[in-house]
A and B are shown apart, each in its own frame.
Chain A
């Protein structure tokens, strides 16, 4: 049956058709929907793991048990899972093991623009790269065949434009696969003696995979002309086809590691001009050059940001239309914390106390944008606590009384706990604020180990954050409601003043959760409002000034009353 399907959903469909029985992932844009779609199939056990490393190790355990397994992550998630990946390359698998890594060229929702193809090369594992939904589905199935045939984990590299684009797919039925687990110490216990025996097997496997890459139908030549030949993959292939149609020959690579040798040499020999079109780093280009071939790439195309058809057309000297625009300056519309976001009140309190706020990954990163402009650091998952520890160790009394780490509940479970262990163990006088909105917010509401619900929304184990922090050795642990500005302010003041490590849990569920019941919206009594703009300091998108008075947008306001606590004239009412 023909269907229009999101790339990530098509990949999930491919997992189901391939007989996958186990999925463990940590959410991350643009990879999240693979797991959210996989969970809709009854035959697949799915879970959100606390982080990508645990997810990959769990998926490997399932593979070891003899069931086809999968884990999904975004590019930076693979950094976390890199440790098991590099040695899984040595152990190989039992039943097929596939991991998706979704890159985000253009950084639509990411902190860096890393090119994950480097991981496939470094870990010496095969990587497939689909260019649309149909390929996402079919490559998922093929990945399991490769995994079992070559005894290796396989990476599938998605990018935002493949993951979050819908295109037409044809579906088929599920085929079950299973194997039996057999004890094999030489294969699975990677102590030096055994690992030394496994490494040559990895190198021999790569040699056989190169042979496979020469003939696999997912690396294909579309020959139309000898004037120009373009080697490309992923979404870049679509842009090339859009611009050139049948006026360029194309070598379309579906397998990006290892790369073929003879196939590329033969293609190069048939064309007068050879060009590589690939987003981000020159992976294919470097390989082609290593074969001693004349090729263009980096001199034509940028190494930053994502491509588009206009960008490719211009690079090849073709004319494009720039379109029309008005003379007016169009104000930017950056993302903002939602109306009623529980993070807002806490950030306001931190700003008021002029705190140095070292932040983390999540919606609350938006605490860095005006008018709050409070967060001074965002690096990677969990870094807020580690960085605060080091900062305070060096600056001592100069920073301890005003520096806080700010981290979400899911991010804390992911990799904040180990940072807190360091604070407790090596005793920096640090204050950590856990923004517990009882969900993984930015990626679209996924459960985590502190919410008490599993991926299906059913009751699950629940980690008690207060008990956990105390058990780790933090004596000062307190909970505040971020809608209550006085309570927030008092807690921040007292915990920063304390002469020992402390944790403040700012607890209030995400305002977008369907289970949250909102109060009716507020409105401003124009007779009372003096236009002092005190309520504007919190940067609520529901409040604006019209004719010198504050006005509340009734479609956005959820009645959180943070603004009314700032009003000197009590002008907000229901």
Chain B
């Protein structure tokens, strides 16, 4: 199998590390060679962050490059637009529609671009856009945005529900499992 590439993008502190951990666990248990690459440190302080997940028969590079991502999983819509060039021709976006103003917008030095979902769709790109924050709150915690996104991503994978559930269980503390299972379902069954 040709190596598949996922990038998870968002704002430092939004929970992308847990999402990549669950994905990595899942893909390894499905028998793939897997590499996950993260960035720790300075950029985690509210900066733009990217995590790479790659899987296949044999994976070499730990990173995904421009024009290579089969999936972009995004926690914030401006970040979706920022990392758009990483999407492969025909790739799929799964994104949260939440807007978090970056400092240049807060200080008035720049403007937050409008109608990003529509513009991406108009460019002929496949995009699943949903208000994950509302869905996560519905599930019981605003921190479950990452799991809502994974739920939606699962829709595009030929991997059993049991395997996803096992990876959730293995990586989420027991007292938050129910909330996260609910968040996963809400994402998976989202009908845009």
Question: What is A's interface to B at a CB cutoff of 8 Å?
Answer: 2-4, 6, 29-30, 32-33, 108-109, 132, 160-162, 164-168, 235, 238-239, 241-242, 308-310, 320-326, 328-338, 363, 366, 369-371, 442-444, 536, 539, 541, 543-545, 553, 555
- In the assembled complex, B155 has its CB within 8 A of some CB on chain A: no
Are B81 and A539 in contact, CB atoms less than 8 angstroms apart? no
A335 touches B12 (CB 8 A): yes
Known: A334-B47, A334-B103. A328 touches B81 (CB 8 A): yes
Q: Closest Cβ of chain A: how far from B178's Cβ, in Å? A: 22
Establish whether residues B107 and A371, one from each chain, have CB atoms under 8 Å apart when the complex forms: yes
- Known pairs A239-B60, A335-B46, A371-B103 / 11 extra A-B pairs, C-beta < 8 Å: A4-B28, A108-B41, A109-B42, A242-B60, A308-B63, A309-B68, A326-B123, A333-B82, A335-B42, A335-B43, A335-B47
- Chain A residues within an 8 Å CB radius of B120: 326
A165-B37 contact in complex given A308-B63, A333-B102, A543-B106, C-beta closer than 8 Å: yes
Query: Which residues of A lie under 8 Å from residue B104 when comparing CB positions?
Result: 331-332, 334, 370
Q: Is the CB of B78 within 8 A of A333?
A: yes
28 contacts between A and B (CB under 8 A): A4-B25, A4-B28, A4-B36, A30-B40, A30-B41, A109-B40, A109-B41, A162-B62, A165-B37, A308-B61, A309-B65, A310-B65, A321-B88, A323-B86, A324-B87, A324-B123, A326-B120, A328-B116, A331-B78, A331-B111, A331-B112, A337-B45, A338-B46, A370-B107, A371-B103, A444-B40, A539-B103, A555-B133
Residue of B13, B28, B63, B109 with most chain A CB atoms under a 10 A cut-off: B63
Given contacts A323-B67, A326-B120, whether A536 and B106 have CB atoms under 8 Å apart is: yes
How far apart are B42's CB and chain A's nearest CB, in angstroms? 4
Complex CA–CA separation, A33 to B112 (angstroms): 36
The contact of A108 among B42, B60, B78, B113, by CB within 8 Å, is: B42
Among B11, B61, B84, B116, point to the contact of A323 (Cβ < 8 A): B84
Q: Are A310's CB and B103's CB within 8 A?
A: no
Q: Encode B32-76 as 1/0 by CB contact (under 8 A) with A.
A: 011111111111111110000000000111110111100000000
Query: Judging by beta carbons under 8 Å apart, are B39 and A164 in contact?
Result: yes
In the bound complex, CA of A333 to CA of B142 (Å) = 22
A410 to chain B, nearest CB (A): 15
Q: Of the candidates A309, A322, A329, which one forms a contact with B113 in the assembled complex, judged by CB atoms under 8 Å apart?
A: A329
**Complex formed: what's the CA distance from A333 to B37 in Å?**
20
Cβ–Cβ < 8 Å partners of B63 in chain A: 161, 308-309
B41 touches A166 (CB 8 A): no
Q: A165-B38, A544-B106 are in contact. Are A333 and B79 (CB under 8 A)?
A: yes
Minimum Cβ distance to chain A for residue B148 (Å): 15
Decide if A330 touches B113 in the complex (CB within 8 Å): yes
Instruction: Check if B36 sits within 8 Å of A165, measured CB to CB.
Output: yes
Main secondary structure of the interface of A (DSSP, over half): loop
Cβ-defined contact, B66 with A166, below 8 A: no
Provide the bound-state CA to CA distance between A366 and B78, in Å: 22
Q: How far is the CB of A478 from chain B (nearest CB, A)?
A: 28
A322 to B66, CA, bound (A): 6
Q: Which residues of A contact B108 (CB under 8 A)?
A: 536, 545
B36, B61, B85, B104: most-surrounded residue (chain A CB, <10 A) = B61
Q: Is the CB of B34 within 8 A of A166?
A: yes
Distance (whole angstroms) from the CB of B99 to the closest CB of chain A: 10
- Return chain B residues, CB-CB under 8 Å to A320: 65-67
CB-CB under 8 A for A541 and B43, given A166-B24, A310-B66, A555-B142: no
Residues of B near A109 (CB, < 8 A) are: 39-43
Question: Which chain A residues border B112 with CB–CB below 8 Å?
Answer: 331
Q: How far does the alpha carbon of A235 sit from the alpha carbon of B42 in the complex, in Å?
A: 22
CB A538 to nearest CB in B, in angstroms, measures 11
CA distance A334 to B109 in the complex (A): 13
How many pairs of A and B residues are in contact by the CB < 8 Å rule? 195
Task: Return the CB mask of B92-135 against A: 1 if under 8 Å, else 0.
Answer: 00000000111111111111110010011001010000000100
The chain A residue with its CB closest to the CB of B111 is A331
Q: How far is the CA of A371 from the CA of B105 in the complex (A)?
A: 11
Indicate which residue in A241, A242, A370 contacts B103 across the interface (CB closer than 8 Å).
A370
Interchain CB contact under 8 A, B78 and A330 = yes
CA distance A331 to B79 in the complex (A): 10
Partner of A331 from B68, B110, B123 at Cβ < 8 Å: B110
Q: Could you say which residues of chain B place their CB within 8 Å of the CB of A4? A: 24-25, 28, 34, 36
A539 to B107 Cα, complex, angstroms: 7
Nearest chain-B residue to A239 (Cβ)?
A: B61
Asked whether, in the complex, the Cβ of B39 is within 8 Å of the Cβ of A160, the reply is: yes
* Docked complex: B150-172 residues within 8 A CB-CB of A: none
- Chain A: which residue is nearest B12 at the CB level? A335
Q: Would B45 and A336 count as touching, CB distance under 8 A?
A: yes
Least CB distance from A106 to B in Å reads: 9
Least Cβ–Cβ distance between B29 and chain A, in angstroms: 9
- Out of B38, B47, B66, B82, which one reaches A330, CB within 8 Å? B82
User: Are B119 and A323 closer than 8 Å at their CB atoms?
Assistant: no
- Can you name the residue of chain A whose Cβ is closest to the Cβ of B107? A371
The 7 closest A-B pairs by CB, nearest first: A321-B67, A109-B41, A323-B85, A29-B41, A335-B47, A165-B62, A331-B110
**How many whole Å from A41's CB to the nearest CB in chain B?**
21
Q: Please name all residues of chain A whose beta carbon is closer than 8 Å to the beta carbon of B36 when the two chains form the complex.
A: 4, 165-167
Are A544 and B105 in contact (CB-based, < 8 A)? yes
Partner of A2, one of B28, B101, B103, B111: B28
Which single residue of chain A is at the shortest CB-CB distance from B103?
A: A336
Given A4-B24, A4-B34, A161-B63, also A536-B39 (CB < 8 A):
no
Flag if B42 contacts A322 (CB, 8 Å): no
Question: Closest Cβ of chain B: how far from A408's Cβ, in Å?
Answer: 14
A322, B78: Cβ atoms closer than 8 Å: no
> Which residues of A have CB within 8 Å of B133?
555
Interchain CB contact under 8 A, A164 and B45: no
> For residue B87, which residues in chain A have a CB less than 8 angstroms away from its CB?
323-324
- B residues less than 8 Å from A165 (CB atoms): 35-38, 62
Give per-residue flags for B1-45: 1 if the beta carbon is below 8 A from chain A beta carbons, else 0. 000000000011100000000001100100001111111111111
Q: Which of B82, B89, B120 has the most CB of A within 10 A?
A: B82
Q: What residue in chain A is nearest B114 (Cβ atoms)? A: A328
B40 to chain A, nearest CB (A): 6
By a CB distance below 8 angstroms, the chain B residues around A366 are: 45
By a CB distance below 8 angstroms, the chain A residues around B46 are 333, 335-338, 541
**Complex: how many Å from CA A133 to CA B184?**
30
Q: Which of B38, B65, B103, B110 has the most CB of A within 10 A?
A: B103
Residues from chain B with Cβ under 8 Å of A167 in the complex: 34-36, 59, 62
CA distance A214 to B125 in the complex (A): 52
Residue of A nearest to B28 (CB): A4
B65 & A326 in contact (Cβ 8 Å cutoff): no
